[in-house]
Amino acid sequence: MILAISYPGEEHTDDVVARLEQRGLDVLRIDLADFPGRTGLSCTWNSSEGTRAVISTPDGTFDLQDVRAAWWRRVRYPSVDPAITDPNAAAFVLSETNEAVDGMLDSLDCPWMNPRAADNAAHHKPLQWTVARQVGLAVPDTLVTTDPDHARRFIHRSSGCQTVFKAFIAMADAWRETRLVEPSDLDHLESVRLAPVIFQDYVPGVDLRIIHVGEKFYTAELDARSTSYPVDMRMVIGEANVRSVTLPQAVEDKLLALQRRLGLVYGAIDMRRTETGEYVFLEVNPAGQWLFVESLTGLPISQAVADQLEYMARGDGGRAQQRRSDHRQIESANGARQPSRSDFNTAL
């Protein structure tokens, strides 16, 4: 059985789960927001049954010992029964539920795409940029700061260089595009004291959305240079010229090294190729979108994701890959459619 953890209506999950079921594979899909009300759990450790984890959903009861591979896709988190109105009681219920659910999932003896701890860490852009530089990828000069004076010095350090500022996470209810720093923005630099801001050299060029699945890369070139907003291709997908391309082997090798260091089996990587042919790393989204790339280029990405999950579930190859990812994580701790605006609200 393959366990898919995502919320209802998540298109990428819908597509891949349908493909897996068409192949005759058993897929259990759960939404963590259903715990503990709609979905219950019972975990036991005893001499007669050993270790077991069973969950009860509206569709039936399932023994998680049967899970051979797990997919940590875009998730929601456990919710509190509305009948619990006391804030302290609600906080306690949520804390207890998270502890039980997280512990249950982390105890599963199967490969994950992506491993939960690695996925969580890899969402942090400062970690991404550090590892990217370590594996030899070019990264724009970048500043993360709450110091207005430092921000001002960064912006003015070179008269020939433009600066952009952007958010760490693209939140659906507080979405912000990447923007060039304009003279009017300088009057508001004191506000960086309220929350860290990313300032980064603007890199003119062609956008690349690179989908990494297992050992493979699927790359789309999104040329937004002649559009109404070349700063952020997410704003002008419908205006950009889009085609599939092949990355130089040297770039793929560095990206694979990045993904392995981060412990990721899947990732949506954003880069820019400059006029001089330099490939510049911007970021990786461990849960990034691919359907808009597939619909615009025909690249078989959904098929590749389904193939990877089936491969992980059927043999030891996925388990060996999981063990390598876990080991690296421990070391480091020590049907075509036109995309809509909502498709890109959380595409990083």
Residue 171 sits in a domain whose CATH number is 3.30.1490
pLDDT of residue 173: 62
Domain boundary at 164, 185, 201, which?
201
pLDDT of amino acid 339: 40
Nearest to 135 by CA among 257, 50, 285, 313: 257
Task: Based on the fold, state whether residues 155 and 170 are members of the same structural domain.
Answer: yes
> Which of residues 155, 184, 201 is at a domain's end?
201
H or E segment to which residue 236 belongs: none
**What is the reported pLDDT for 333?**
37
Please tell me the predicted confidence (pLDDT) of residue 153: 93
User: Is residue 26 a part of any domain in this protein?
Assistant: yes
Are 193 and 98 part of one and the same domain?
no
CB atoms within 10 A of CB 83: 6
Q: What is the pLDDT of residue 159?
A: 65
Per-residue pLDDT, 157: 84
- This prediction has a pTM of 0.87
Kindly state whether residue 250 falls inside one of the protein's structural domains.
yes
Euclidean distance between CA atoms 147 and 152, whole angstroms: 9
What's the burial of 184, exposed, middle or buried (CB within 10 Å: 0-12/13-18/19+)? exposed
| Residues spanned by the domain of 169 | 141-201
In a domain, 116, yes or no: no
Is beta strand 69-72 parallel, antiparallel or unpaired with respect to 279-285? unpaired
Whether residue 221 is found in the same domain as residue 320: yes
Q: Decide if 97 contacts 35 (C-beta within 8 A).
A: yes
Last residue of a domain, one of 182, 201, 220: 201
Domain match, 211 and 190 both: no
In Å, what is the CA distance from 145 to each residue of 86, 134, 191, 193?
38, 22, 11, 8
Answer whether residue 119 is part of any domain.
Answer: no
Confidence (pLDDT) at 175: 62
CB 267 within 8 A of CB 257: no
Give the pLDDT of the chain (348 residues) as one tens digit per residue: 999 999 999 999 999 999 999 999 999 999 999 999 999 999 999 998 789 999 999 999 999 999 999 999 999 999 999 999 999 999 999 999 999 999 999 999 999 999 999 999 999 999 999 999 999 999 999 999 999 999 999 999 866 689 998 988 766 566 678 888 888 888 889 999 999 999 999 999 999 999 999 999 999 999 988 888 888 888 888 888 999 999 999 999 999 999 999 999 999 999 999 999 999 999 999 999 999 999 999 999 999 999 999 999 998 544 444 444 444 443 443 333 334 333 443 443
Q: In angstroms, what CA-CA distances link 250 with 77, 117, 215, 319?
A: 39, 28, 14, 27
CA distance 30 to 8: 9
d(CA 183, CA 258): 36
Residues 169 and 266 in one domain: no
- Could you tell me if 173 and 288 lie in one domain? no
Q: Are residues 27 and 83 in the same domain?
A: yes
133, 195, 188, 129: which is closest to 167 by C-alpha? 195
Residues 290 and 227 occupy one common structural domain? yes
Residue 131 lies in a domain: no
Q: How many structural domains are present in the chain? A: 3
Alpha carbon distance 54, 195 (integer Å): 42
Burial 39-66 (b: 16+ CB within 10 A, else e): beeeeeeeeeeeeebebebeeeebebee
Q: E-assigned strands of the chain?
A: 2-5, 27-30, 40-46, 50-57, 60-63, 69-72, 112-113, 142-145, 163-166, 179-180, 197-201, 206-213, 216-223, 241-245, 266-273, 279-285
User: Do 27 and 103 lie in a common domain?
Assistant: yes
- One domain for residues 194 and 211: no
Burial of 244 (0-12, 13-18, 19+ CB in 10 A): middle
Residue 290 lies in a domain: yes
In a domain, 332, yes or no: yes
Distance CA 2, CA 69 (A): 5
Q: Do 217 and 194 share a structural domain?
A: no
The span from the CA of 178 to the CA of 138, in Å, is 19
